[in-house]
Each structure stands twice: as structure tokens, then as C-alpha cells.
Structure 1
Amino acid sequence: MPQTIQGFSRLNKEEKIDWLTSNFLSDSQNATSILKQYWNSDAKLQQLHDEFIENTVTNYYLPLGIAPNFVINNKTFAIPMTIEESSVVAAASKAAKFWMSRGGFKAEILGTQKIGQVHFTYTGDAQKLSSFFELTKSILLNDLKTLTASMEKRGGGITSIELINKNDQLANYFQLHVTFETLDAMGANFINSCLEQLAESWQREYNNYPVFSENNAEMVVIMSILSNYVPQCVVRAEVCCAVSELTEADGIDPEVFATKFVQAVRIAEVEPYRAVTHNKGIMNGIDAVVLATGNDFRAVEAGAHAYAARNGSYSSLTHATIENGIFRFWIEIPLALGTVGGLTKLHPLVKLNLEILGNPSAPQLMEIIAVAGLAQNFGALKSLTTTGIQKGHMKMHLMNMLNQLDATDTEKSKAIHFFKSNKVTHSAVDSFIKNLRQN
């Protein structure tokens, strides 16, 4: 039975691995070898990785691919993508090439503001609290000056503070709703530091205000935290062309293709079961670039899915129309990103990837990543409405299947040639390799 341990974090990496492999893995020698083979031979680089998180035992590698030929606002990009799923980079690259000769992608920032909240309960008269808030707002902002001064010099800072009454949803629940501009920083640490100071000042001023003590009204701060729902930090990306230009759609008549494509998007707009998978495909492209640039893909995911449900029902993040012979396909999505701070200045590959993208500002990175999501969705819908999704996906997945079967280089070469003109399935690949070996 595995043994519990005290002080695991104080063990060195070797000791952590010894405890882990001896307690949880059947072949401790082999497990140790696997863990150590992913260590970087550069001790300084390995130490950097060890210090990113706690209780590190090794590195976990994901492939870094490049999707070339993206034309965004008349500028050409090669987009780094970090993802484990077959066909994602290929689909993005194919979509980029398709639109390169049709004017490329257009992108624009609709807003860059982020949100943080101080959540608290209050048992007194709501009107008195509102009057108190108006009296103390300037004091609250003044107390934040030391934290916001540097950001304000660069053009950012706090743009508004509101008192929100949520009594109708939860008894005695109120919040201070704060809007921030964090420029090229994602801003999580800045926002949370400001909110904690705001909560402290709010509680202090409340305790010193005689009206509340005389009426026995109680106010308790519950928590102070940024929100990953950022509906005011939104980017729009779009492609459009004449329907007649939608050739190369696997031999299908352009008007038929455009009609089916738009209908597929509309299905995702009204059917949540389809919308979830539809949006997952968008996030394949978005998360891959978010990861490659050292940003928080969990925050981006949460914010995007909340935005997809903002009207009361989960729906598509992309939209499409045909009007006057023009096909138009676009996405509007919230993206809270940073190009300074965090891993962006620490992880060597992140720094390199940002350089590949031209060292963009945070708004420029928003545009690039939104385009990657739109391209991914275009590629998926193009396949779904023409040849079907599995034909291309399974072709890309072929190498994974061959590796699972421990195929040799010669066997791989023969399999790749054979499946150029034959349907790829797990059973077909398995049978092909078995036949090769028997003969």
C-alpha cells in the first residue's frame, strides 16, 4: 500500500522520484529512467523549468509546430502552435493558404478592459451603502495609487469602480465591480493586488463610518479576485470573398459549399450539443497559440465558453452569412492575454515564439490568436460539409497508430504509401502491419 509522506516539497528531485516510483509504480527502475530522460542536459535551463511550479520531477513535452502563410491585416505570419492533437496544425495551415489568395484575414480589437471584483455581504439598508460608496470612492482610489502608479504612467490602470447589488440573486450579497486596463500584461497579479487593497480600504472605511455602527449593519468581505470572464476584452476576426471564389472546396460547387457551410454554422448557433464540439474545434487553434506564447489557456477557455453562453443558451463563437453574393465568416471572442510578465520573459521557447510573431503587443496577439481559432473552425467546417472530418484526421493520425504498433521505418514508409489511396482505420492499419510482418 502506498505510503503517505510529510515534507515532500523539501525533498530534492531525486528523492521525490525515489518515493514516487517505489510507492506508485510497478517497475521503479524503468519509471525512473523515463522520468529522467526528459530532463534537460543544460542544468541552468532545467533549473528554470524546475522553478516554474512546485514538486517538479521532470518535464512534460508537447510538440511545437508552425502554421505558415497567415495573412492578417495585410501582414504575413507564421504561427507557432503547441498541441498534441493530430491534424490541428495541418488544418490551420490549409485554411491560411486557402484565404491567402482571397485577401487574407482581417482582425480588429473591440475592447481591452478586464474585470475584478470584491465580493462581500451586507445586512443593512442598501441605499445607505450606496451613499457611503459615493462618499468613499475617492478615498478608495487614492489608497490604490501606489499600486497603480506604474501602470497609469504607461496609459493603463483602473478605469471604473461600481457598487453592484446582487440581493435579488443571493441574500445580502454585494460586490465592488472594478474595470482595469492592463496594456501588454495579462494583469492577474496587478488586478488581484489592487482588489485586496481595495477590500482592506473598503472594510476600514466601513468600520469607521458611524451610521453603520449605530444601526448594527454588518459588512463582511468574502473574497477579492479577478474574473476570467472578460466580455469587454474582445477581438473580432473575419474572412470574406465572393461566393464564386470559394473554389477548391473538394470539387463541390461554390454555391452549394457556401450554403452548406452557413447552415452548419447556424446549427451550431441554435444547438448546444453541436455548439460545444464546434467551439472545441475553435479552441484547438486558440489554445495551441495561447500555450506556445506562454499564456493561460485555462483562463482563455473559461472566458470563451462563458461568452458563448452570454445570451442564456450555449452557442457558436463563429458566425457566417451570404449576402449579395458575398460569403462572410467571422468570430468575436474575449481573450485576456499578455506579452510581458509571467513565462513570456522566462521560457526560452515562449520568447522565441513571440519573436516569430514579430514581438506583438497584447492587442496584436489577440488578433493573431483569434485568427488561428477562425482558421481552425473554417478547416473543420470545410471538411465536415464536404469529405467528412475523419478522412483528413485519420490520415494525420496514421503516424500515431504506426508508433503504437512499434512499426519500423520501412513499415511506416510502406504504410504511408498504401494509405494514400486507402481508408485509414485502426483495424486497417493493424491488419496492414501484421500482413507485412507475416510476409
Structure 2
Amino acid sequence: LQPARVDTGIGRYVYPLEEGGVDEEKLAFWTANEKVLCNFSFDVKVRSGYPVDAVRVPNQPQAQITRIGDGEWEIHVGNRGPEGGEAVAEAQSGGQMSLAPEPAAYSLDKDLIVYWRLKEGLPGSVDLAAHKPEGSQRGTFMLTVTPGDDLQPITEGRDWVFVLDISGSMQGKYATLADAVQRSLKKLRPDDRFRIVLFNDSSRELTSGFVNATADSIARYSQSVAAIQPNSGTNLYAGLQLGLRALDADRTSALVLVTDGVANVGETQQRQFIDLIRKKDVRLFTLAMGNSANRPLLDVMTRASHGFAVSMSNSDDVVGQLLAATSKATHQALHGVKLEISGIKTADLTPQVIGSLYRGQQLVVFGHYWGDGMAEVTLTGRISGQPKTYQTQFPFPDLATGN
């Protein structure tokens, strides 16, 4: 079983192909032929328990997308289209969309990404995918909890700190990131404030302290961000350290970190990063760009702040991903989440510590179970300090071979 991330009704699957581009020694020593001159095909079946009303494949204008049913679609990509391309193949629920130009060499230098959009207005749910062969006492399960939309918007003004990686490896993606930052700033409320911190070998602040989110300040600093030329190494610790300075204890703060690499300049020890984050009462929202970002470090920092982290391909809709990440801080969150399953024996639950659930986020739990029958699933947590409990019943099968 492999979980597919669904966030705010948008599902996403990534097949990684692109080189991360941050390991200079590897790039200098190793070369590869990324072009496929013979037959090449990539086929995906999207099968959902809920209606899917659109499927989208960015950067693959030759993709063939076919709707099979309410929750089932097929996608085919092959070397019968132009090399590269920035167009997007997209099909609505009306049927099939197909573009099939003349055959050409296919380049394996970009990740393959499939998005699908669930029908709007779906209720909260609990879904179980299980595998238990005939005669086996132990089964494996994947439990997906989709909370209802009862996380309300936060009405008071917030402080935002954008910490942006401007190291040399960001050159090919920085223009898209700058556009995403501009659009995120435009989404801020009039009573919000923001700071912008940049880092490569060292760190510096583009703003001079917090700036009110007025139309003039947003336009001014958007232009300043766009004018930056990425270069040099990645001193992630220095960027975070500067971003965490001068936070206002009387206002709710969120720090948005965007980076594509590893901490290769300055402090690099994981413990130092955790200690730095825990000194401040701030939620860290991390977007890890590309395939070589140090996800273990970024994940542990995010968990230490009870924040949210997402991996982002260079072929992703960067603007959409950044807007989705910042939307997490504009609504209430369910903190201190715990999941209990009673009525059937379970073990080896992963993740062991859940932490927080943010707006639009699913909880995916893997584990083993013994026996079969009806189980009671209880999810508990706190919203704005108040306890919340969600309960439902779900059958665990004695035989499950379809997954």
C-alpha cells in the first residue's frame, strides 16, 4: 500500500525522475542519458472511493486522460509527444482529453505528477484499505481519516515570516517561487503583518521588521523578491535563526520555510535545529522543493513546532502548493491528536505520534490487525484548547486480497 496525499480535496501522486541538483560532487562525476529513444509509457489508474470531477497532469501536454467512472480515471503518457513542454493536460468529468502529436524522444528529466480533484461538499469520513490473505491470522491495514470542515477561520491579525532559500541550486525554480510568494502575500488580511528573510551562505532580511500587509508594501516587496539572483550555498540554520528573531509574543505567528537543499554551510546538527525551533512559540510550515531536500531534518523541525511539512516537486504547481500551505495557518487546527482502535487487536501503528491536523489535511495510519469484526475508531484532540472527540465504527475483514 502507498498513501496518496489528498489536501483540501486535491489528490496528488508523484513519480520522481528529476535529479535534485544540489549534490555538486555527484553532478561533476556522474553523467546520464535522460532521453528515451525507444518506446516509453507511463500509465496510472486513479481509483477513489469518492467522486473525482477533474484530473490534471502538469508539464505533460501529450498525456491522454480518460474517465472510466465517478471515482476512476486512467492516464497514459508516452513518447508520442514533443519533448518537454510547459502545457498542462487536464480533463473534466465530461469524458476524455487526448493530445497525441508525432513520436519523439522522451526526456526523463522531470517528475511525473498527477492531480485529481474530489467533488466538492463531501462529508468527513473514515476509509479502510486492508490486506489479509486466506488462512493468515495477521492482516495489514491503511486507515485514512478525513475530518469534517469544522476548523473555523482565524479572524484576528497574524504575523507571517517567509524564509526563502536563495542558494545557487534555486536558480531554475526561483522565478516560480517569487511569483508564488507574491500571490501568497496578496492573500494576507489587512490586519496581518509579514517579514521576508533570505538565506544562502548567510542570511539577511529583506524587510526591516514586520510590515503591514497593505497593497503598497505587498507590491514593493514582491518586486524586491523577484529581483533576487540565487547563488552560493545553503546556511539553513542562519535563515531560521534570523526568521525567528523579533517575534511578537502577543500575536499568533507562522513561519513559512521554502528550501530545496541540505544544510551544507554553518550549523548542520539536527539537535541544534530542534533546540532553535523549540525556543519560540511559532508554527513552522515547510515546503521542501525538489528531490534532494533533507526531508528527515525538515520533518523533525516541523514536528517540534507542531507545524506542517510537504514535499514539492519542481514540476509541481508551486503557486498552488504555497497557497495551500499558508492556508493552514489561517484556520484553526486540531492539536494533540490521538487515534484509538478498540474491539479488535491492532499493533505497529505508524505514525506513533500524530501531532496536529490542519485544514484540509488527512490522517493516514498504517498498522497490523488480528482477527476480524467491527472496531470502534476514536479520534481525539483540541481545537483552541477545547477537547474534541470523533467516533465511528468500521469493519476489519477476515479476508482481503484486493489491495
Pairwise same-fold verdict (TM > 0.5) = no
Query: When the two structures are superposed, what TM-score results if normalisation uses the length of structure 1?
Result: 0.27
| Greater C-alpha radius of gyration | 1
- Structure having the larger proportion of residues in strand: 2
- Structure having the larger proportion of residues in helix: 1
Query: When the two structures are superposed, what TM-score results if normalisation uses the length of structure 2?
Result: 0.29
